[in-house]
Structures are given as structure tokens and as C-alpha cells.
Structure 1
Amino acid sequence: MANELTHRVVRTNGIDMHVAEQGSGPLVLLIHGFPGLWASWKNQIAELAKHGYHVVAPDMRGYGDTESPTDPTSYSIFHLVGDLVGLLQVLGHQQAFVVGHDWGAVVAWHLCLFRPDMVKALVNLGVPFWPRSPNIKPKTLRQKFGDGFYISQFQEPGRAEKAFGLYDHLTLMKKFHLIDKPDLIAPPGMEIIDFLDTPSSLPAWITEEELQYFASKFQKSGFTGPLNYYRAMDLNWELLAPWQGSKISVPTKFIAGDKDIGFHSFGIKDYIMGSDFKRCVPNVEVVVIDGYHFIQQEKAKEVTNEILSFLANFSNV
């Protein structure tokens, strides 16, 4: 029934994609990031469905019960956006509201860039749209931040997988979810996963059972797929050259947690709060709330209310 959470596998863009869905009405796609799953949106799914939306939350390519190609070139931004375009077609919708977090926000930005006709409105969390530099490839991050930078370490096939393999999957999920986000620079020669300390207790916003669910799915699918998003960054830089200087025209709400490490790194806060972000995304509303990186889980009610209030401007719900 539409009022119950259901699961199915659909064929899109050449892969089998697992989706969770609930409700009926205007379509809302919820796009998770690293290291997430459809369940990252558990609270939003139920509430949005209750308010009259058809909510669909996929496991993205490489995650959970969705297919996980091993070749990093299969994780280009064209592949990731293509998966969502195909998903909309399978669902029988020409347009959707889209909500993204972390890498899901990156994919959602580019869905809006490539196919603005398919997005009624966008709510993105944590990661802003960043204009493509005409001269600086992502690989130069290693030159700027060194080998200890987590994105640098993620580039080398097998390196992060080997480090992750030193831990059981439940411990890994605690490390990733409870230390905010691993936007850290490790000392030279130290693996990023070894540089993280695991907290001794869980915060109120996530349970041991929830983390165990995540752990069971990553134990099945592994980390190569999710890490391939990072390994395709240089390829994406090359592919995105035709969109150099393009803007996001879709109406957007951007939500950031004021304690998110990413918000305070690499000049992102100044970029978001200044005029540059507005120039790249002219129809953006910026909301900064009290919280960390996994804000849709930590501050579920507040984030859901922000989503609902924004979507209501563009629908009859």
C-alpha cells in the first residue's frame, strides 16, 4: 500500500537499483551520500509521505542492494545522473523534487545542471555547488594538502579498502557516523581510518541497531563502489568542461550544519555566506542550523520541516 514503506529493484541506466518508497502524490527523490544508504532518510521518508508526497530513496550506484560496478569510470557524474534520469522514467514521472546530502548533493546539483526540466525544486544538504575550475584538476589536492588528505588516500585503488579491512563493519559505521565526517588531514604515512578515534557512546540521533543495518549492507557490498565516486573526480573534471561557467537555475534551498567540519574547511563557509554562491545558484535560499554533517539524521525534525516548507512553495500539497 502507498502508506507503507516498500522496497523493490528497478532497472535503470544498465544497472539494478534498489529503492525504498512510500506515499503517493508529487515525487520526491532522496539522494544519500558517503557512506549512506536509503535508510539515511528514514525519518524524512515517513514524514514526507504523511504530508502527501510519493517518496523514493534509492541505494545509489555502488551502495547497499544496488549494483556495484568495479571500474571507477562507471562512476562518472554522467553515470550517476543517468541513474536518476532513468529512475524517473521507470517511476513514470517527468519531474521530481530532489533532496541530496553529501555526494548525493553533488549528484543532485548536476542533475539540475544537465536536466533542469526534470527538477521542480531542490533541497541540498552539506555540500554546495562548486564551480569547475578551468585549470585545477582534483588530483592537485594531493599537491596542496598532502598524502594524508582523505580524498588523496581514497584515489589509490585498494588502499582505503585495505585500511577499512582492519575493522569490523559496525566499528567502521561508528567511525564514519559519529566523528562527523572524515574531513581530516592525517600525519604523513598514516591511513585516514587509523587517524579517527571511535567515540565510546552513541549520540541520541542514531541507534546501535541502525548502525548494524548499515554495517550489514556494507559488509555485503564493500567500499569499492562508494570510493569510486572519489576516483572518478578527475574524469568528471574533464567531462564537465562544456558546462564551464554554467549556473544552477532550479529553485534551491541549501542547508548546512554550523558544526559540520566541511562547513568550516577550504573557505566553504565564506563561499556559502558570501555572494559567490548566489552567483552560481541565483535562486538559492541558505539555511544554517545547529548540527553536524549527518544533519538529516541528527536534526531530523528540523530538516524535514525545512524541506516541507520549501516544497510547499512549488506544489499543491
Structure 2
Amino acid sequence: MNEVTHQRIKTNGIWLHIAEQGTGPLVLLLHGFPELWYSWRHQITFLASHGYHVVAPDLRGCGDSDAPLSPSSYSVMHLVGDIIGLLDHFQQQQAFVVGHDWGALIGWHLCLFRPDRIKGLINLSVPHFDRNPKAKFVDSLNKIYGDGLYICQFQEPGRAERAFARYDYLTVMKKFLLITQTENLIAPPGMEIIDYLETPSRLPPWITEEELQVFADKFQESGFTGALNYYRAMDLNWELTAPWQGSKIMVPVKFLVGEKDIGFETNGVRDYVQGDVFRILVPNLEVVILDGHHFIQQEKPQQVSQEILSFLRKFPAE
């Protein structure tokens, strides 16, 4: 089998860096925050070895992809447009999409905006919620959690970047990628979230210092502004997605989440994922709860890879 190769592709007016391996049906792997294509290192080789053409981009603003300066260039319209451009580049009418964290949000919106281009979706960690017509997303969070919530702190351009700069890049990666506790996402009054997050004294067995350094080195090159701009476009997304209010996602979906994921443990998300409303919005849905935390594809690579493969194999070969 061929090795992982890298190239940059022009799509939707920007250049995206992609890692790819294998031949067969196209599978796109979309990462989250603060991550890169490298988050999928385990799944790329596994899926390629089972007969798939696997493509993992650095999403706009991250890694070796272009990073437009304006937060308004990070709306879900732009993000979905980038992925449609990748499909067009590979001359594929349809692809499978696997998304985690922000990549999951892109996956949900791909299915809302362009279901004709998606064969099936496997999303990790972030479920689909219907848009609240009465309040902007960040405003709602601010009223519930206050300024200590990381999403609220990320809104002001430059604020998080200045706070992150008090640490070396490897420490920032450790603070985010190794997060485990619910309260870690909300800093006490007057404290920045990066100061509140703990730096683990020992690494968990699923990631090495060298692997963390790969993330650190790339963010040292690019800075964090591109990745943070996703959060700064959240209320713009709320405005732009009004036409899809109440829309159902009819694409076949498998949703994977870690039992100890910080997002799964808070604000009724567990009940939502296991309840009826999620299934009304996503009728063709399978939910799998794994033993793990938020960055589940890195923490439990074999289980996640097998879950993805079992879903892909439900579709007839072309």
C-alpha cells in the first residue's frame, strides 16, 4: 500500500493542505480544535488498508492551509464550500465524511446544505442541535455560563492569542488535548481559560510527547488566530443558517461519543443524545457511546477505526 502523501489543493478561493492515502471510495476526515490532519493519523492508514481513498485536510486557518484574516471568512458557508471544492477536485459526486469537534459541525452542515454530495456521515463528539430562533448562540452561552466559558473568551480578537502566548506551544497543546474534567471549560471570574486549564504531570498512554510536538510545531508556525476564528464566526453562523431552521438531516449518520467527553457530560447533552429529539432531527441515526474522552479518535484509535469501517461497509460497493 502507498504511503501517506501531502499536497495543497485550490478550493473555494484558498489553498488547503491535505494528507491522503489509499484508493477506492473517497472518505474525508475533518478535524477539530486545536487540531490538524494529524489527529486522524491512526484512521488514515487503517481505512486506506481496507480499500478507501482517505483524505484528511488541514481545515482553513490550520496547519499548512491558508488562514484568511477576517473571522467572517470562517462561516459554515465557507467551511462547507471548502469541502465541496475538495469533492470537485477529486471529481467525486459523493463521499463519506467523518468529522470530529468542529469537523463534526462542518459534517452536519454539509448534510443540511448539500445532502446530494454525502453518502454517509460519521460524526464524533459533537451532536447536531437545531438552531434556536430566539437567541444568538454566543449570547445564549454568555447568559448561562458567563465570560469564563472558553467560547465566550474566544470571541474578542486577540484576547485568547495574548493569553496563550504566556505558555510555550507544547504546553498549550497539553492543556487542550489532554483535558478531562467538566469544570475545566469554565474559568473562575477574572481568569483566562488557558491559565485555568491544568498541565498534566504525566501523559496518558494514548499520546506521546513527540506526537504532541507535531501539533505544537505547526501552531507555532501558523499561530492560533485561524483556529480561533471558527468561534468568532458562531453568531454569524446563527444568522446565516436561519433558512434551515427545523430542517432534518436525512443522510445516514453514525454518531460516536466518549462516555467521559466534557461536552457529553454537561447541560443535558447525554439525555439529548440518547433521547427522541436528536432522532427526530436525524432520522437515520445510529449512536455509539465509547469509553473515552473528547479526542476519542486519538485516545481509542482501534475502536473508532472499526466503528467507522463497520458503517462504511453497510454501503454497497461501487
TM-score class, shorter-chain normalisation, is over 0.9
Write the distance in 1 (CA, Å) between the matches of 2:181 and 2:118.
Answer: 28
Once the 2 structures are TM-superposed, how far is the Cα of residue 139 of structure 1 from its aligned partner? 2.6
Alignment-derived partner of residue 251 in structure 2: 250
Which amino acid counterpart does residue 26 of structure 2 have in structure 1?
L
The residue correspondences of 1:165-314 to structure 2 (distance < 5 A) are 165-180=165-180, 184-314=185-315
Note the alpha carbon deviations across 1:206-249, whole angstroms, 9 max, x for none. Answer: 11111111101000111111111000011000000000100111
Alignment-derived partner of residue 102 in structure 1: 101
SS at match of 2:137: coil
Alignment-derived partner of residue 158 in structure 1: 158
CA contact (8 A) 2:23 2:51 kept: yes
Q: Identity of aligned pairs, percent?
A: 66
Once the 2 structures are TM-superposed, how far is the Cα of residue 181 of structure 1 from its aligned partner? 7.8
CA contact (8 A) 2:138 2:151 kept: no
Alignment-derived partner of residue 64 in structure 1: 63
Which amino acid counterpart does residue 161 of structure 1 have in structure 2?
E
Q: TM-score, normalised by structure 2?
A: 0.98
SS at match of 1:226: helix
More divergent stretch after superposition (131-140 vs 249-258): 131-140
Alignment-derived partner of residue 33 in structure 1: 32
CA contact (8 A) 1:180 1:294 kept: no
Write the distance in 2 (CA, Å) between the matches of 1:23 and 1:54.
Answer: 4
Alignment-derived partner of residue 134 in structure 1: 133
Once the 2 structures are TM-superposed, how far is the Cα of residue 44 of structure 1 from its aligned partner? 0.2
CA contact (8 A) 1:254 1:286 kept: yes
Write the distance in 2 (CA, Å) between the matches of 1:251 and 1:289.
Answer: 20
Q: Show structure 2 runs of 5+ residues with no match.
A: none
2:48 aligned with 1:49, yes or no?
A: yes
SS at match of 2:314: helix
SS at match of 2:255: strand
Alignment-derived partner of residue 111 in structure 1: 110
Which amino acid counterpart does residue 19 of structure 1 have in structure 2?
I
Alignment-derived partner of residue 149 in structure 1: 149
CA contact (8 A) 2:154 2:232 kept: yes
Q: Show structure 1 runs of 5+ residues with no match.
A: none
CA contact (8 A) 1:181 1:293 kept: no
Which amino acid counterpart does residue 170 of structure 1 have in structure 2?
L
Query: Runs ≥4 in structure 1, deviation > 3 angstroms?
Result: 180-183
Write the distance in 2 (CA, Å) between the matches of 1:29 and 1:315.
Answer: 18
Which amino acid counterpart does residue 173 of structure 2 have in structure 1?
M
CA contact (8 A) 2:19 2:55 kept: yes
Write the distance in 2 (CA, Å) between the matches of 1:125 and 1:110.
Answer: 14
Write the distance in 1 (CA, Å) between the matches of 2:315 and 2:191.
Answer: 49
Note the alpha carbon deviations across 1:113-169, whole angstroms, 9 max, x for none. Answer: 100011101100000011001111113211221111111100111110011000000
Write the distance in 1 (CA, Å) between the matches of 2:102 and 2:2.
Answer: 29
Once the 2 structures are TM-superposed, how far is the Cα of residue 266 of structure 1 from its aligned partner? 1.7
Once the 2 structures are TM-superposed, how far is the Cα of residue 315 of structure 1 from its aligned partner? 3.4
CA RMSD of aligned residues (A): 1.1
Write the distance in 1 (CA, Å) between the matches of 2:65 and 2:44.
Answer: 19
- 1:180/1:18 CA distance change after superposition, 3 Å: farther
Write the distance in 2 (CA, Å) between the matches of 1:113 and 1:164.
Answer: 34
Write the distance in 2 (CA, Å) between the matches of 1:186 and 1:215.
Answer: 23
Note the alpha carbon deviations across 1:69-90, whole angstroms, 9 max, x for none. Answer: 1100000000000000001101
SS at match of 1:271: helix
SS at match of 2:303: helix
Note the alpha carbon deviations across 1:249-289, whole angstroms, 9 max, x for none. Answer: 10000001000111011211110000010001000000001
